[in-house]
Amino acid sequence: MSITKVGLVGLGLMGGSLSIALKKLPKTYYFLGLDHNTKHCNQALELGLVDEVVSSLEMLKECDIIFLSIPVDGIISVAQNLGTLPPQCTVIDLGSTKEKISASIPSEIRQNFVTAHPMTGTEKFGPHAAIDNLYKDKVVVLCDLEKSGKHQVEVAKSLFDAIGMQIVCMDAAEHDRHAAFISHMPHALSYALANSVMQQEASKSIIALAGGGFKDMSRIAKSSPKMWEDIFRQNKTNVLKAIHSFQAELKKCEKMVENEDWSALNEWMSDANKLHDIL
Amino acid sequence: MSITKVGLVGLGLMGGSLSIALKKLPKTYYFLGLDHNTKHCNQALELGLVDEVVSSLEMLKECDIIFLSIPVDGIISVAQNLGTLPPQCTVIDLGSTKEKISASIPSEIRQNFVTAHPMTGTEKFGPHAAIDNLYKDKVVVLCDLEKSGKHQVEVAKSLFDAIGMQIVCMDAAEHDRHAAFISHMPHALSYALANSVMQQEASKSIIALAGGGFKDMSRIAKSSPKMWEDIFRQNKTNVLKAIHSFQAELKKCEKMVENEDWSALNEWMSDANKLHDIL
């Protein structure tokens, strides 16, 4: 039986959970891991997320598939430092932004790359954050596929399909506009909510009262600042547009409350209810 | 064995779940339900949430305990229409605001009342929304207890304790300031987020990509507009203060992204991370 060699660059939540998902398939995989964090390398070995830890990108070039599950600025840096790759090697990045990544891949290896964004995650990070079924029944967006090799598109599609994901294709620019609204701006809100509450004089008494609504809204305020700094940097323009759009809606709410325009407020909330006819 | 008669005014999520919680206790309860929505009355009977449906407040006056689990303006209206009550009767309102409710209760029956806010719920409503363990391990805030009768305080405390709640006492004004931050303003954010996304041209394509973060942040945008109109009305001043505090934080984020002040943004997100050392 042939063994598929998989390189995992970044041994955190996304990479680790991918290993768990792939190990459940009938195919046999051998995982080589690379992470600048030595503790994470050891934990990934202990947890059985990787079979072997390597110390350089060069040592991953014999892999059939290489996943880049690291912060988005790191993905660009790896893409630019990979050098040449065997024609059959497939590199799949899992970054939350796509336009700058897609454009930064050197032309000699552009065909090797498939740029993907699995719309899943938790606020946790590191190998111990890896969980079963993180990818199952979730959407993965594949971008700019016309720039990827035919073999690489087949490998990526069949792999994401095999782990139960729903594949959506679009161009990277469109992805980044959408992701700003559905993911990046909501993270900004969650961080802002957490900070606004913690700034209050009685913050501890306030937080002691937290119910499910607040816990849900502030959950992603626990996300990694390093990871999100990179995302906000790479998707600056779209993130600002999404923040402005949100601010305009909240301003409407503020004004209706201020002016005691209760029937308009009720209507505005009823409009928001409609989201759930779609979602 | 003595039977405790419980009146439930409002047969939705909160009242229905309370019936489920009380039925699990060794005591024997008999539930009389009152709701202006006839469909909800029938559903509550079918689901076994109440033993009997009554048609007027008058018919609940023989109850040992009466719960008011209806929108907050309705609670004030009921309090003002109850008339006289037997001295041993305990009325517990479960409204999300407390100051206006506490002040509106006629002085002749003020001792009968305990004003409570269980910090729990879901975005769903109606008898079918009632669930097991809604109250277990959650916080309930009891307000202005010095205005309640000794017997009533004992009844309320032992009941909330018996269903597994953590009791926190404070004055109603303080509760309303805290609830604005931990619950009311976050609802405004969720409604605004839902509306800002739905206003985009490609809204359906955007929403099709929703992952867990967006789903969590927009969940409470499904909440009942009627219920929330009343809450925003009753807690207007505190809600506006909380919205302003949030807006100032989001503005900081916007400016840091705009000015590409990434290290300050990273620090601001790290500050937000600290919420979870407390929560």
Each residue of A92-116: pLDDT tens digit?
999 999 999 999 999 999 999 999 9
d(CA B251, CA A167): 35
Quote the pLDDT of residue A170: 97
| Domain A175-278 homologous superfamily, CATH | 6-phosphogluconate dehydrogenase C-terminal like domain (1.10.3660.10)
- pTM of the complete model: 0.94
B279 contact A CB<8A:
yes
Which residue(s) pair with B119 in the sheet? none
Q: How far is B135 from chain A (nearest CA, A)?
A: 11
Q: How far is A204 from chain B (nearest CA, A)?
A: 8
For the residues of A27-79, what is the DSSP string, one character each? SEEEEEEE-S-HHHHHHHHHTTS-SEE-SSGGGGTT-SEEEE-S-HHHHHHHH
Please report, as a single letter, which amino acid is at residue A168. V
- Chains A and B: how many Cβ contacts under 8 Å? 299
CB contact under 8 A, B272 and A217: no
Residue listed under structure tokens 């407020």: A265
Using alpha carbons only, what angle is made at residue A186 by residues A182 and A188, rounded to the nearest 5 degrees?
A: 135
CA A260 to chain CA centroid, nearest Å: 41
Architecture in CATH of B3-170: 3-Layer(aba) Sandwich (3.40)
CB-CB neighbors (< 8 A) of A192 in chain B: 246, 249-250, 252-253, 272
A173 contact B CB<8A:
no
Q: To 10 degrees, the CA torsion angle through A36, A38, A43, A46?
A: 110
DSSP annotation of B29: E
DSSP annotation of A163: T
Q: Domain locations in chain A?
A: 3-170, 175-278
CB-CB neighbors (< 8 A) of B204 in chain A: 278
Quote the pLDDT of residue B279: 84
CB contact under 8 A, B139 and A209: yes
Using alpha carbons only, what angle is made at residue B164 by residues B137 and B134, rounded to the nearest 5 degrees?
A: 60
Strand B166-170 to A28-34 pairing: unpaired
CB contact under 8 A, A204 and B278: yes
CB contact under 8 A, A208 and B247: no
Question: In what helix (H) or strand (E) does residue B276 lie, and over which residues does it extend?
Answer: helix B275-278
A169 and A139 Cβ atoms separated by less than 8 Å:
no
Residue listed under structure tokens 């953590």: B166
CB contact under 8 A, B250 and A188: yes
CB-CB neighbors (< 8 A) of B274 in chain A: 198
CA distances to A278, B157, B177 from B140, rounded to whole Å, are 34, 10, 16
d(CA B92, CA B116): 7
Q: What are the per-10-residue average pLDDT scores of chain B (279 residues)?
A: 94 97 97 97 98 97 97 97 97 98 98 97 92 97 98 98 98 97 97 97 92 94 95 98 98 98 98 91
Strand B166-170 to B52-53 pairing: unpaired
CB contact under 8 A, A191 and B253: yes
A198 contact B CB<8A:
yes
Quote the pLDDT of residue B1: 65
Closest by alpha carbon to A29, among A55, A2, A57?
A2
Q: pLDDT at residue A217 above 90?
A: yes
CB-CB neighbors (< 8 A) of B199 in chain A: 245, 249
d(CA A214, CA A207): 9
CB contact under 8 A, A249 and B221: no
Quote the pLDDT of residue B123: 86
Integer Rg of chain A from CA: 21
Each residue of A119-128: pLDDT tens digit?
999 889 899 9
Chain A 23-42, residues with CB within 8 Å of chain B CB atoms = none
Given phi > 0 = left and psi -120 to 50 = alpha, else beta, which region is A164?
Answer: left
Instruction: Report the SS3 class of residue A124.
Output: coil
Which residue(s) pair with B66 in the sheet? B7, B91
Average pLDDT, stretch A211-222?
A: 94
Average pLDDT, stretch A57-82?
A: 97
Mean pLDDT of all residues in chain A?
97
Candidate from A168, A198, A249 with C-beta closest to B196: A249
